[in-house]
Amino acid sequence: MNLIICMGLFWVISSLHPPVAFSQDDILTVDDSAFLRHMRPAVKFPHQKHAVNKRIQACSACHHVYQNGVWVENGDSIGMECSECHYEEKQDAIMDLIRVYHLRCKGCHWEQKAGPVLCGECHRKD
């Protein structure tokens, strides 16, 4: 019985997504042109929410630049698609690209214990 109540509570709590306090314009759809065929619904990314988040030190946390494998401290890659650097024509290329997206988004959410980490929390059908 207790188990059932716990599971019920879990269900309710886990269904309560924090309301997004920004307009639709601040929510970008992650639709990298390298993904010719979507295997999952494209992610609706609340960009503004991340931009004002104090736990994210700089834009270059995501919009980073590497030259010859070395991180460029004041560089940024704003306006570029991830696939411009993280995609090269070879076998498994799409899996590699998906991997860097997941490690960047989900990896940070895990570290910060904040933000979605389950597949369907980002890849939503609605």
Residues that bind another protein (CB under 8 A): 7, 10-11, 13-15, 39, 92, 95, 98-99, 102-103, 106, 109-110, 113-114, 117-121, 124-126
CB of 118 to another protein, least distance (A): 5
CA distance 39 to 122: 13
- Written as six digits, the tokens of 101 are 């997206």
| Amino acid, res. 18 | P
User: Which residue, 13 or 78, is less far from another protein as judged by CB?
Assistant: 13
CB of 62 to another protein, least distance (A): 17
User: Which residue, 20 or 103, is less far from another protein as judged by CB?
Assistant: 103
User: Which residue, 76 or 123, is less far from another protein as judged by CB?
Assistant: 123
CA distance 86 to 119: 21
- Written as six digits, the tokens of 108 are 């940070």
CB of 30 to another protein, least distance (A): 16
End-to-end CA distance of the chain: 33
User: Which residue, 72 or 99, is less far from another protein as judged by CB?
Assistant: 99
Q: What are phi and psi of 44, to 5 degrees?
A: -90, 115
CB of 67 to another protein, least distance (A): 23
- Written as six digits, the tokens of 34 are 């390298």
